[in-house]
């Protein structure tokens, strides 16, 4: 592998407290040097002036759908979407068919991901067998096979005793249990947030409390057991406040928020727009503001996409029947820049931290930094680009996004995974 020199870019590397113009030298797939001026010495030179050079993004929450629903997404198309969006490491959620509840399925996903040669895949195993919420999976086997966390995502672990045991037992491994926090009884078959929009459309709503009640229960169980709770896709102010207070008390809890919950409210459902149908649902403005506040004050640890691809025909249906989910990998960075960096809520280094180093730290991955000797997973971002979201151009099979047609700022210009350029793959 030849060496590569990224010259004159603004290097944003929050892990090393770096934000300034530096040259970055890549050798043998690793970051070799980051210095003010490096001479090429035969390395291929990339002019990075006017661009940002950042670590590749890390997603804690990607649905790749393979095995089982290859019509929605394959590992190949999902990883192509990832690198298009600047993600060089993603966590694959276990709600596949069969569920990722045994080492065999984990190994299948890892092998397919290895063949794709794009973003690195870190599997999330299921907490319960078949994600049925009854019996615990073999945590030890799953972690040994490479899982970086466990989740029944899509469903909550509703049984309180089972959740208690899972949190307790997972302490052996020092890995997080990722909870899709929803009280299914209280959610009562809701298809969007319970509020004025749902009332107007005559759609069944689920209140914010169907999330926060479960967050409160899980925080109590995390405190009881000392287990590590990670709350997936926090959507409302009540959950943020509960987590904030629990962190203050020293409860071992982390959480994530999605770009769509930071950017949109239940108004996005408009007149039955199924592309804005997502679980947890888009909430009112005061919740959206509370999420941004929670992200800024550190209550919310990181940003995760909850990339949830579906087929066009499934989404092209009555609102009640259309599946929940947004195709999010290819818009995440730009949506966050629009919502956070342009209004000067976060700086570029703070945003990159929330999208790379912070999630990488939660899964113990050697990613999200430009440390000397680290794998050369990095991006060249054009911060001044403006582009229009055209879902038909997505690499993902999932073309459903409430951001379709929106003009967004900033674009990933070039991507390297472990030193190999994968731009446009």
Partner 1 sequence: MALAATAQATDTAAWTRKDLLGLRELTAEEIRLILHTAESFRGISLRPIKKVPALRGQTVVNLFFEPSTRTRTSFELAAKRLSADIVNLAVQSSSLSKGETVLDTVRNLEALKVDILVVRHAAAGVPHLIAARSRAAVINAGDGAHEHPTQALLDLFTIQEKQGRMEGLRVAIVGDIAHSRVARSNIWGLTKLGAQVTVCGPPTLMPARVEELGVRVTYDLNEAVRDADVLMLLRIQHERQESRLVPGLREYRLRYGVTRERLRAAKPELLIMHPGPVNRGVELDSEVADGPHSVILDQVTNGLAVRMAVLYLVAGGGKAEDADA
Give me the active site residues, please: 306
In angstroms, give the least distance from the CB of 77 to partner 1. 23
Residues whose CB falls within 8 Å of the CB of residue 202, separated by 6 or more in sequence, listed in order: none
Query: Does residue number 321 form part of the binding site for partner 1 (CB under 8 A)?
Result: yes
Handedness of CA 398, 343, 410, 116 (dihedral sign): negative
Length of the chain: 425
Contact pattern from residue 248 through residue 287 relative to partner 1, giving x for each residue in contact according to CB under 8 A and a dash for the rest? -----------------------xx---------------
In angstroms, give the least distance from the CB of 125 to partner 1. 32
Reported as type and span, the H/E element at residue 121 is strand 120-125
Contact pattern from residue 199 through residue 238 relative to partner 1, giving x for each residue in contact according to CB under 8 A and a dash for the rest? xxxxxxx-x-------------------------------
Q: Which of 1, 196, 224, 342 binds partner 1 (CB under 8 A)?
A: 196
Q: Which of 13, 152, 194, 377 binds partner 1 (CB under 8 A)?
A: 194
State the Cα–Cα distance between residues 227 and 170, nearest whole angstrom.
7
Extract long-range pairs of 382-387: CB within 8 Å, 24+ residues apart.
382/50, 382/51, 382/52, 382/410, 382/411, 382/412, 382/413, 383/51, 383/52, 383/337, 383/348, 383/409, 383/410, 384/50, 384/409, 384/410, 385/409, 385/410, 385/411, 385/413, 387/334, 387/411
In angstroms, give the least distance from the CB of 293 to partner 1. 23
State the Cα–Cα distance between residues 166 and 251, nearest whole angstrom.
16
Q: What is the gyration radius of the CA atoms in the chain, in angstroms?
A: 21
Output 191 or 219, the one with its CB closest to partner 1: 191
Output 47 or 320, the one with its CB closest to partner 1: 320
Q: Which of 145, 198, 338, 339 binds partner 1 (CB under 8 A)?
A: 198
Q: Which stretch binds partner 1 (CB under 8 A): 14-22, 122-130, 189-197, 222-230?
A: 189-197
Contact between 304 and 87 (Cβ < 8 Å): no
In angstroms, give the least distance from the CB of 243 to partner 1. 25
Output 176 or 280, the one with its CB closest to partner 1: 280
State the Cα–Cα distance between residues 371 and 363, nearest whole angstrom.
17
Handedness of CA 392, 234, 236, 248 (dihedral sign): negative
Query: Does residue number 195 form part of the binding site for partner 1 (CB under 8 A)?
Result: yes
Contact pattern from residue 301 through residue 320 relative to partner 1, giving x for each residue in contact according to CB under 8 A and a dash for the rest? ------------x--xxxxx
In angstroms, give the least distance from the CB of 373 to partner 1. 53
- CA–chain centroid gap for 164, Å, is 25
Output 203 or 341, the one with its CB closest to partner 1: 203
Residues whose CB falls within 8 Å of the CB of residue 10, separated by 6 or more in sequence, listed in order: 19, 20, 21, 51, 52, 53
Output 208 or 257, the one with its CB closest to partner 1: 208
State the Cα–Cα distance between residues 212 and 201, nearest whole angstrom.
24
In angstroms, give the least distance from the CB of 294 to partner 1. 24
Output 3 or 311, the one with its CB closest to partner 1: 311
Name the residues that contact partner 1, by CB under 8 A.
194-196, 198-205, 207, 271-272, 313, 316-321
């Amino acid at each position: 592998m030849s060496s590569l020199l990224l010259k004159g870019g603004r290097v944003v590397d929050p892990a090393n407290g770096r934000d300034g113009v530096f040259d970055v030298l890549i050798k043998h797939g690793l970051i070799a040097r980051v210095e003010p001026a490096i001479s090429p010495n035969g390395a291929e030179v990339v002019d990075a002036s006017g661009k940002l050079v950042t670590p590749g993004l890390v997603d804690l929450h990607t649905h790749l759908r393979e095995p089982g629903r290859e019509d929605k997404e394959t590992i190949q198309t999902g990883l192509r979407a990832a690198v298009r969006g600047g993600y060089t490491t993603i966590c694959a959620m276990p709600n596949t068919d069969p569920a990722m509840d045994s080492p065999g399925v984990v190994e299948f996903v890892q092998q397919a991901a290895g063949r794709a040669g794009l973003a690195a895949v870190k599997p999330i195993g299921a907490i319960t067998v078949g994600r049925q919420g009854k019996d615990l999976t073999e945590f030890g086997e799953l972690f040994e096979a490479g899982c970086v966390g466990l989740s029944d995502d899509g469903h909550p672990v509703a049984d309180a005793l089972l959740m208690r045991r899972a949190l307790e037992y997972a302490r052996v491994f020092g890995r997080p249990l990722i909870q899709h926090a929803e009280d299914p009884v209280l959610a009562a078959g809701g298809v969007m947030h319970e509020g004025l929009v749902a009332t107007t459309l005559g759609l069944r709503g689920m209140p914010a409390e169907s999330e926060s009640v479960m967050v409160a229960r899980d925080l109590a169980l995390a405190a009881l057991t000392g287990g590590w709770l990670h709350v997936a896709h926090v959507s409302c102010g009540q959950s943020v406040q509960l987590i904030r207070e629990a962190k203050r008390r020293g409860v071992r809890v982390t959480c994530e928020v999605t770009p769509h919950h930071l950017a949109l409210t239940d108004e996005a459902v408009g007149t039955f727009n199924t592309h804005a149908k997502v679980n947890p649902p888009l909430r009112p403005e005061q919740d959206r503001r509370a999420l941004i506040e929670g992200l800024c004050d550190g209550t919310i640890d990181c940003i995760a996409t909850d990339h949830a691809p579906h087929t066009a025909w499934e989404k092209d249906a009555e609102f009640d029947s259309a599946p929940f989910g947004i195709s999010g990998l290819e818009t995440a960075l730009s949506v966050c820049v629009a919502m956070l960096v342009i209004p000067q809520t976060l700086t570029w280094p703070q945003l990159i931290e929330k999208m790379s180093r912070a999630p990488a730290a939660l899964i113990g991955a050697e990613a999200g930094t430009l440390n000397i000797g680290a794998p050369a997973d990095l991006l060249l971002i054009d911060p001044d680009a403006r582009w229009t979201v055209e879902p038909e151009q997505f690499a993902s099979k999932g073309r459903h996004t409430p951001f379709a047609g929106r003009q967004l700022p900033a674009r990933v210009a070039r991507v390297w995974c472990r030193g190999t350029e994968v731009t446009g793959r």
